[in-house]
Amino acid sequence: MLAMCNGECPKNRFVTGGNETEKLNYLCAGYKLFFNHCTPFVQAVARQWRQQSQTDGRPGHTGRNDPCPCG
């Protein structure tokens, strides 16, 4: 889950973790539940977006001196 929340804001890290030097965000348990619930949906949307962007039929990048792709 660290990739999603990135450890959150350091000012909110005051709950001690396994060792005394490791500080956790006080919302960490809630973030884990939320991101575990949302991850499949986010991945499905990302997959659809990638598929759509590959098959949308738009022309590639048009350079400065290339003819207009619209005709």
Sorted by where each begins, the domain ranges of the chain are 2-53
Residue of higher predicted confidence among 1 and 51? 51
The predicted pLDDT at position 43 comes to: 94
Mean pLDDT, range 49-68, rounded to an integer? 78
Mean pLDDT, range 41-67, rounded to an integer? 82
DSSP string, the chain: -HHHHTT--GGGEEEE-SSTT-EEETTHHHHHHHHHHHHHHHHHHHHHHHHHHHSS----PPPTTSPPTT-
pTM: 0.52
Tens of pLDDT, residue by residue over 20-51, are 667 777 788 888 899 899 999 999 999 998 88
